[in-house]
Structure 1
Amino acid sequence: MKKMLFVFNPRSGKEAIKNQLSDILGIFCGAGYLPSVYVTQEPGDAAKIAEEYGKDVELFVCSGGDGTLNSVISGIMRLEKRPEIGYLPAGSTNDFARSLKIPANLTKAAQDVVSGKSYGVDIGKFGDERYFVYIAAFGAFTEVSYSTPQDIKNVLGHQAYILESIKALGNLKSYRMHLTWDDGETDGEFVFGMVTNTTSVGGFRGLAPKDVSFHDGLFEGVFIRTPKTPADLPNIISGLLLFPEQENKDVIRVKSSKFTVTAKEEIPWVLDGEFGGSVTEAKIENVKEAVTLSCSPEPEKQEEKTAG
């Protein structure tokens, strides 16, 4: 039988996996895998498990929120020989899963992992040691993703983020910075920025571009200049959501394989919904097709459907 390691976060989302664990393991065994199971004990330990044992298995499956997926891939990125990855989304927003059309139904997602096809997926490198799967962001609302208590997220789900974001409106901070990308640069005051490889951010479509390829070696950057008054920011964001293709002098949208964000003060960053540290210089690089993901249908076909 083929070796598999299955890591899951029992507290993610509304703890739905507890009632489906037997069915999920049955799907894996029925497909010819001999799964070893690890239940996460604390934040970040999935990365340690992935780094230590990932080289010994053919398929590494994880279930949890975006943070759990980030932790697993961060560990796998440190390996020379990387196993295929499967993902069963069980978090509150599941942005990456939404982008790839991975089913929210855990048993259906498990079936896709063992019967679907394998595709290369780009991964982001942040600085020298950190990685992200689909987003690196700073500024307005980003703290909400890692400061919202897990119990509230479990009860309210995606609504928890919306409520906390509304609270954050009254405490916006502006950063003076220098931005560089493959074929351009700019200076100015910015209140928000994100580098993404996704069609969904915070559960919303529109903030990120529709025409996203998950394996083209390019990220999509969106940077919002500081508005004249805090009350203008919701209008800018609404414009992005409702009219994403419309030009806006307060918004910079670019595609690039690399980004550098430099400031005099430390800027706190969020990587896949988790705190990624505070730095004065953030160097972000796209590692093209760094990992192989087993899912269905093919990501490129999903992009065509999304764009249509």
Structure 2
Amino acid sequence: MSKRLLFIANPRSGKGQIKDHLADILDIMIKAGYQVSVHITQSGGDATDQTIAQAENFDRIVCSGGDGTLDEVVTGMMKLEPSQRKPIGYIPAGSTNDFGNSLGIDKNMLNAARMSVSDNLFPCDIGRFNSDSFVYVAAFGLFTEVSYATPQDMKNILGHAAYIIEGAKQLRDIPSFRMQVEYDGNVIYDEFIFGMITNSKSVGGFQGIIRGDIGLNDGVFEVTLIKMPRNPIELNEILGFMTGIISDSDMVYAFQTEEIKFLSSDVVPWTLDGEFGGKHDVVVIKDESHAVEIAIE
């Protein structure tokens, strides 16, 4: 009896290149012994809904799109009981593909398709964000609105430059958030312009931002919190840290933890894997170790 595979494709990710490779991708999946059903996403959240509704009918779910598409599939899988979750394959087709790069998934779509049906499954950590989930980054503050506020067509044409162009507009008036942060018995009370909780070797296509020994299934997140600069010297110090020119800064908190809590007097907008994650005054983030299996080479 053939194994069953659901292929969920976002036709708008990247430059819509999935359209040029669809027949070859399906051929690879069929030759790997799968009976394939295809679903083209119709709107935001569609991949999540399809995963929840269809997971029990398939042996594997493979998605093609950006990290946001993968996030939707993982979000759907995380809403199921662990025993109901199925292995996920990922064929990156977005503008940045941070998580695909971290997993070592080939940028060539046909090579990635071969990996997506591999029997080599990586048990990956997934982040719990209150009642939601994320694959590789939860963030607030400077630049975090860029990824979901930047039009898809602009991302397709300009790639990373689109994020930089849109992000530069925010530098005129840097917003800050006064927050209490609790982790591992520690309490920080400070004013931040940016924060990210990550499980990835790059964010926004840029490597070197995240420090420490990074493992995608080590049970901990990498946390980076940037304080509000009070003068140009402090701002230059932050930029030096973020670009790797300096290795340490009193303007930046950087540590690892498996659970962290944020409390603020005002609601703070968050992004989850580059998509809007809502506005919250209380956020609890937990590392759910080895929560899903992702096919790799």
Superposed CA RMSD in Å reads: 1.4
**Partner of 1:215 in structure 2?**
217
In percent, how many aligned pairs have the same letter?
45
**Partner of 1:121 in structure 2?**
124
Please give the residue correspondences for 1:1-308 in structure 2 after superposition, counting only pairs within 5 Å.
1-80=2-81, 81-115=84-118, 117-128=120-131, 130-209=132-211, 211-229=213-231, 232-233=234-235, 235-243=237-245, 246-296=247-297
SS at match of 1:284: strand
- Counterparts in 2 of 1:234 and 1:64: CA distance versus 1, 3 Å: farther
1:115, distance to aligned residue in structure 2 (A): 3.0
1:100, distance to aligned residue in structure 2 (A): 1.1
> In structure 1, how many angstroms separate the alpha carbons of the residues matched to 2:226 and 2:275?
21
Residue-by-residue CA offset, 1:58-99 (whole Å, 9 max, x unaligned): 110001011111111100111121010000011111110111
Partners of 1:123 and 1:290 within 8 A in 2: yes
> In structure 2, how many angstroms separate the alpha carbons of the residues matched to 1:18 and 1:269?
32
Partners of 2:237 and 2:251 within 8 A in 1: no
Amino acid at match of 1:282: V
Residue-by-residue CA offset, 1:6-65 (whole Å, 9 max, x unaligned): 001000011111000000000000000011100000001110000010122111000101
1:232, distance to aligned residue in structure 2 (A): 4.7
Partners of 2:48 and 2:75 within 8 A in 1: yes
1:239, distance to aligned residue in structure 2 (A): 2.0
**Partner of 1:299 in structure 2?**
none
SS at match of 1:242: coil
> In structure 2, how many angstroms separate the alpha carbons of the residues matched to 1:105 and 1:238?
34
- Counterparts in 2 of 1:133 and 1:234: CA distance versus 1, 3 Å: farther
> In structure 1, how many angstroms separate the alpha carbons of the residues matched to 2:244 and 2:272?
25
> In structure 2, how many angstroms separate the alpha carbons of the residues matched to 1:97 and 1:210?
20
Runs of 4+ in 1 over 3 A off after TM superposition: 229-235
Residue-by-residue CA offset, 1:186-212 (whole Å, 9 max, x unaligned): 101111000000010110011113521
- Counterparts in 2 of 1:231 and 1:87: CA distance versus 1, 3 Å: farther
1:159, distance to aligned residue in structure 2 (A): 1.3
SS at match of 1:20: helix
1:234, distance to aligned residue in structure 2 (A): 5.7
For structure 1, which runs of at least 5 residues remain unmatched after alignment? Answer: 297-308
> In structure 1, how many angstroms separate the alpha carbons of the residues matched to 2:92 and 2:183?
32
> In structure 2, how many angstroms separate the alpha carbons of the residues matched to 1:168 and 1:230?
17
TM-score (norm 1): 0.92
TM-score (norm 2): 0.96
Amino acid at match of 1:105: N
1:241, distance to aligned residue in structure 2 (A): 2.5
1:169, distance to aligned residue in structure 2 (A): 1.2
1:290, distance to aligned residue in structure 2 (A): 0.4
Partners of 1:70 and 1:133 within 8 A in 2: yes
Residue-by-residue CA offset, 1:96-152 (whole Å, 9 max, x unaligned): 011111111111001112235111000001012x11000000001100010000111
> In structure 2, how many angstroms separate the alpha carbons of the residues matched to 1:161 and 1:269?
17
SS at match of 2:243: helix
Partners of 1:169 and 1:230 within 8 A in 2: no
> In structure 1, how many angstroms separate the alpha carbons of the residues matched to 2:177 and 2:186?
19
User: Comparing 158-167 with 230-239, which one deviates more in the overlay?
Assistant: 230-239
Residue-pair matches, total? 294
